[in-house]
């Protein structure tokens, strides 16, 4: 069976789109890319192009594949092999396009390195629902085995494609599973977040099963998040810089200020990191998602959590300590999520403000009344994004405008639906 090459980008709806070519043209495609259209950035998760967008019918781009950001999905049971490459969206002459999300992330990381001599190690944890697991208990061996042979095939395929799976587990929600990948350099981690979703979906189709990465399938059900883990290291030496035994939460001043930048711009950031019509139904107190805008030690209601470390078996706390951003989901573009968190962290490092308080692990429920809240819904988050002049200035004007247009078009597409139908419509799209 003839195999193909698929050259892809991830759009503002968090969906992977691109073009396929015969594998015999691989060398030429890697050298010259394939054609693309600016208005494709304005596609919504429901399929149509946002009518109010900056591009219209004009303009041309190239999708320039990164030979180091690809995977091979092997031939199985009548499904031909495909090579999937992630690409930068460039102008026809190969120059960077201001609206390319991958370039946005790359530029943010370069600024962090240039201004502060720091690099980021990252990992994206994904949760999703896999049909056919009804009646099994959360975290149970029964659910784990009920996912076979899909589960073992997934772990094996992720390992074969170089995505370095760490854990595969049955989660709390009905039909819910989680897959985690090893920490790696930040842009690679974001690339893997794009690839992972397509690998999971493709494998599920081959097994005759259905998955969704949507934030919620039902308003009161378990939610699917994407937890973004970030660690800062010295660019020259590779030494971790977040750990300080003497400080609250053992988080170094530099790390606390980085987190402070994220907290300061959190209400605008969520329009990038949790950008679907159902996302904010999940981001509510007492759901173990995000209870408010605060930094805390090992608290799963925190927007930014200082993750635990363990010395068991010779574990090194200095290398384990990391920050977990918890207000993201798989409807977001991983490159925009990463780039926005880095930009916010840069603001915190440069501001000279006092670092935020680290709330203890045993904080009382009444203390939540003292904590700023996230936006109540996506519409409010988009308004916050427009009002935050600092965050607004991170983006090329056409990129920001298109993001706002796409998200408001998605909100119009669910206007008049109740929460149950909104969740289902989004779940079908993801």
Give Dmax over CA atoms of the chain in angstroms. Answer: 64
Residues 48 and 184 both lie in one domain: no
Within-domain flag for 409 = yes
For residues 257 and 353, the answer to whether their CB atoms sit within 8 Å is yes
Residue at which a domain ends, from 90, 118, 140 = 90
> DSSP letters of 67-91?
EEEEEEE--BTTB--EEEEEEEEE-
Residues 146 and 37 both lie in one domain: no
Distance (Å, whole) CA 20 – CA 7: 6
290: domain CATH number is 3.30.590.10
For residues 242 and 272, the answer to whether their CB atoms sit within 8 Å is no
Residues 80 and 120 both lie in one domain: no
For residue 94, count other CB atoms closer than 10 A to its CB.
11
Distance (Å, whole) CA 142 – CA 244: 41
For residue 370, count other CB atoms closer than 10 A to its CB.
11
How many domains, the chain? 2
65: domain CATH number is 3.10.20.70
Residues 62 and 159 both lie in one domain: no
Within-domain flag for 98 = no
Long-range contacts of 131-137 (CB under 8 A, 24+ apart): 131/175, 131/209, 131/210, 131/211, 132/175, 132/209, 133/170, 133/174, 133/175, 134/174, 134/175, 136/170
> DSSP letters of 91-110?
-TTSPBPTT-HHHHHHHHHH
Within-domain flag for 96 = no
Residues 172 and 263 both lie in one domain: yes
Residue at which a domain ends, from 67, 90, 113 = 90
Distance (Å, whole) CA 128 – CA 225: 8
| Residue ranges of E strands in 184-291 | 184-185, 211-212, 226-234
Within-domain flag for 346 = yes
Residues 368 and 425 both lie in one domain: yes
Residues 290 and 350 both lie in one domain: yes
Residues 231 and 317 both lie in one domain: yes
Residues 124 and 35 both lie in one domain: no
Element of type H or E holding 186: helix 186-206
Q: Identify the residue whose tokens are 């402070």.
A: 260
Residues 409 and 269 both lie in one domain: yes
Residues 129 and 167 both lie in one domain: yes
For residues 107 and 29, the answer to whether their CB atoms sit within 8 Å is no
Within-domain flag for 99 = no
What pLDDT score was predicted for residue 364?
A: 66
For residues 248 and 364, the answer to whether their CB atoms sit within 8 Å is no
Within-domain flag for 175 = yes
What pLDDT score was predicted for residue 52?
A: 80
Which among 414, 318, 301 is positioned nearest to 367, based on CA atoms? Answer: 301
Within-domain flag for 97 = no
Record the pTM.
Answer: 0.97
Within-domain flag for 76 = yes
Residue at which a domain ends, from 61, 90, 119 = 90
Residues 236 and 376 both lie in one domain: yes
What pLDDT score was predicted for residue 30?
A: 96
What pLDDT score was predicted for residue 365?
A: 66
C-alpha distances in Å from residue 282, one per residue of 18, 43, 123, 211: 30, 24, 21, 18
Residue ranges for the chain with pLDDT beneath 70:
1, 364-366
Distance (Å, whole) CA 111 – CA 121: 15
For 66, the domain range is 4-90
What pLDDT score was predicted for residue 366?
A: 65
């Amino acid at each position: 069976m003839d195999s193909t090459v698929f050259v892809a980008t991830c759009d503002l709806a968090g969906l992977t789109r691109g073009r396929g070519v015969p594998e015999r043209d691989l060398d030429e495609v890697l050298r010259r890319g394939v054609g693309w259209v600016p208005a494709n950035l304005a596609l919504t998760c429901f399929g149509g192009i946002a009518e109010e967008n900056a591009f219209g019918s004009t303009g041309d781009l190239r999708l320039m594949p990164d030979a180091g950001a690809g995977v091979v999905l092997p031939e199985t049971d009548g499904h031909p092999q495909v090579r999937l490459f992630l690409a930068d969206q460039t102008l026809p002459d190969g120059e960077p396009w201001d609206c390319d999300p991958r370039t946005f992330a790359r530029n943010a990381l370069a600024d962090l390195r240039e201004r502060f001599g720091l690099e980021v190690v990252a990992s994206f944890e994904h949760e999703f629902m896999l049909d056919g697991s009804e009646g099994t208990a959360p975290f149970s061996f029964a659910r784990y085995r009920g996912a076979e042979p899909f589960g073992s095939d997934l772990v094996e395929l992720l390992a074969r494609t170089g995505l370095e799976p760490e854990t595969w587990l049955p989660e709390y929600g009905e039909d819910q599973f989680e897959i985690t990948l090893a920490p790696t350099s930040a842009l690679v981690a974001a690339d893997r977040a794009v690839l992972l979703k397509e690998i999971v979906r493709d494998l599920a189709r081959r097994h005759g099963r259905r998955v969704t990465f949507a934030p919620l399938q039902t308003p009161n059900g378990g939610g699917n998040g994407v937890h973004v883990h970030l660690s800062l290291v010295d660019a020259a030496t590779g030494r971790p810089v977040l750990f300080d035994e003497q400080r609250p939460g053992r988080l170094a001043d530099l790390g606390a200020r980085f987190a402070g930048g994220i907290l300061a711009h959190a209400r605008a950031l969520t329009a990038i990191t949790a950008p679907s019509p159902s996302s904010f139904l999940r981001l509510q107190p007492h759901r173990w998602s995000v209870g408010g805008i605060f930094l805390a030690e090992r608290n799963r209601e925190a927007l930014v959590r200082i993750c635990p470390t363990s010395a068991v078996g010779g574990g090194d706390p200095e290398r384990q300590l990391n920050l977990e951003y918890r207000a993201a989901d798989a409807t977001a573009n991983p490159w925009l999520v990463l780039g926005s968190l880095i930009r916010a962290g840069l603001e915190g490092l440069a501001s000279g403000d006092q670092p935020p308080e680290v709330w203890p692990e045993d904080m009382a429920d009444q203390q939540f009344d003292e904590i700023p809240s996230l936006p109540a819904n996506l519409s409010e988050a988009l308004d916050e994004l427009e009002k935050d002049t600092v965050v607004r200035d991170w983006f090329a004007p056409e990129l920001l405008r298109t993001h706002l247009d796409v998200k408001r078009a998605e909100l119009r597409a669910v206007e008049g639906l109740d929460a149950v139908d909104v969740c289902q419509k989004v779940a079908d799209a993801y």
